[in-house]
Amino acid sequence: MRADSIRRAAAILLLILGGAALWWARNGTPASASANGAMVATIAAARERAAANDSRLKSAWRFEEGGWIYVHLEGDPGAMGYQHGYLLGPEIEDGFAAVSAGMTHSTERDWEFFRKAAHEMLWPKIDAEYQQELQGIVEGLRARTGSKLDMDDIVAFNAFEELPDYYVPWLNKQQKPANAPNLKSPGNCSAFVATGSWTKDGQIVMAHNNWTNYRNGERWRIVFDIAPKNGYRILMDGFPGVIASDDDFGINSDGLMVTETTITQFEGWDPNGKAEFVRARKALQYAGSIDEYTKIMLDGNNGGYANDWLLGDRKTGEIAQLELGLKAYKLWRTKDGVLAGSNWARDPKVLKEDAPAFDPDNKESSPNARRARWEELLNESKGKIDVALAEKMLGDHTDTAQKKEEPNERTLCGHVDGSPRGVKEWDWQPYYPGGAVQGKATDARMAKEMRIVARMGHPCGGDFLAKPFLAAHPEQAWQEPYLRDMKAGPWTEFRSGQAPK
Ligand SMILES: [Zn+2]
């Protein structure tokens, strides 16, 4: 082994020196761009080959299916991070560019501002094992692509759901900068969890579609199969470079089933708290019960990315809703019922203290219209709910405000790009390119075998095409470098330990 690796290192060195000599010979004086390019490519290839032989990659793999990229990560935190950074290197670079452009555009703050927030405010409170995992991502990414991104970039990027829409509005309130943009916390996703007499087999069924802008959503195509050295095995969807599911949908090997929808018009941030992306990942990795999940999410709650967490424990058949405000929170639980979410808070105390601007009585808003549709759909499906039916529900296009079929901002499968109203509660302008970007579902039986089904793109199967959209909506031209087609894939099953076909 040792001699082998020395030989390998020598071979790589020769390759690099050979490339350099070639470049030197051809370019004694004026350097030609093409030879210089060849030189760079040679060194890049050598670097990639050297990195591919890193022992940390031995137990990891990736493959693509149904529009998703499946990644298996295994081992100690540093190794899992390295695998993540290496295997998803090109996707991380691409995702970082799209996400950071959105963060700086909406907040009118430069990227250095987010790096500083990550370094000074978030980093010191991140558990050591996740610091190691994040460090591993940076190392793996650099080894794969020669990336210039560093730790502060990756931490700020991991906090893309919480820094721009929670921290910055809170900071603007203190600092009162002139012409501060009107930032609003997002309202992402439609989801439910059902159990007992509501489902076909009496056990838990859980489903979720992710609502976000199409720019980010089209990149939210990773299935992470995580086998950590400590804690439970995880199967979740996610975003390249981010350690939490972040939209969120995941199951763990101790029976916990987790999803959420975001609280519309949430206000608040605690700079001394622990980043939400860290708490959410930790809870999915270490909680074996609804109580343990709640405890981890409350520990150091910073108010970032405040959600109504929909939980299931397949060991007991119990489901729960954790409405996690910053000043207030509420936990409901039942062994016979259904809990749905579409971005509305319902606890009077949470509404009053954490989302005071939200109007629960406006039947025409996206959260409330979808809430009404969930009630109709789930009530008429009582006793029949299974994964196949859940897939259909995630693609539902009934607008309860207009009482008609029309994919728009008020339907469970959101198509805000088709709405002349947009969603003012989230500051989504008319025809905003956002909505449901992918869906997932599972049940207790599948979760026991660590299986989920997932569909990339609109859960109804509809496609979004960037070119005609941008031509019709020049006000979104700033997104042009990042906004791509989002074509729907088939419903596809994934399971833990799955190998490429
Ligand atoms: Zn749809």
Distance 476 CA to ligand 1 centre (A): 21
Element (DSSP H or E) covering residue 71: strand 68-75
pLDDT at 15 over 70: no
pLDDT at 411 over 80: yes
pLDDT at 5 over 60: no
What is the predicted pLDDT for the residue at 8? 45
pLDDT at 196 over 60: yes
Distance 430 CA to ligand 1 centre (A): 17
Distance 408 CA to ligand 1 centre (A): 8
Q: What pLDDT digit, counting tens, does each position of 149-167 carry? A: 999 999 999 999 999 999 9
Distance 150 CA to ligand 1 centre (A): 38
pLDDT at 22 over 50: no
Number of H helices and E strands in the chain, helices first, is 16, 17
Give 421 or 178, the one with higher predicted confidence: 421
Distance 460 CA to ligand 1 centre (A): 4
pLDDT band at 21 (very low <50, low <70, confident <90, very high): very low
CA distances from 20 to 10, 30, 469 (A): 15, 15, 47
pLDDT at 2 over 90: no
According to DSSP, the residues that pair with 320 across neighbouring strands are 311, 333
Distance 427 CA to ligand 1 centre (A): 21
pLDDT band at 46 (very low <50, low <70, confident <90, very high): confident
What is the predicted pLDDT for the residue at 125? 98
Encoded tokens for 154: 């990756």
pLDDT band at 35 (very low <50, low <70, confident <90, very high): confident
Distance 394 CA to ligand 1 centre (A): 8
What is the predicted pLDDT for the residue at 33? 64
Average pLDDT (99-126) is 98
What is the predicted pLDDT for the residue at 248? 97
Distance 413 CA to ligand 1 centre (A): 4
Distance (Å, rounded) from C-alpha 10 to C-alpha 108?
49
pLDDT band at 107 (very low <50, low <70, confident <90, very high): very high
Distance 375 CA to ligand 1 centre (A): 19
Q: What pLDDT digit, counting tens, does each position of 198-245 carry? A: 999 999 999 999 999 999 999 999 999 999 999 999 999 999 999 999
Distance 466 CA to ligand 1 centre (A): 16
Distance 373 CA to ligand 1 centre (A): 14
Distance (Å, rounded) from C-alpha 497 to C-alpha 494?
9
Distance 399 CA to ligand 1 centre (A): 12
pLDDT band at 185 (very low <50, low <70, confident <90, very high): confident
For the chain, give the mean pLDDT: 93
pLDDT band at 66 (very low <50, low <70, confident <90, very high): very high
Burial class (CB in 10 A: 0-12, 13-18, 19+), 230: exposed
Distance 383 CA to ligand 1 centre (A): 25
The answer to whether 46 touches 65, Cβ cutoff 8 Å, is no
Furthest-apart CA atoms within the chain: distance in Å: 80
What is the predicted pLDDT for the residue at 474? 96
pLDDT at 29 over 70: no
Q: What pLDDT digit, counting tens, does each position of 262-299 carry? A: 999 999 999 999 999 999 999 999 999 999 999 999 99
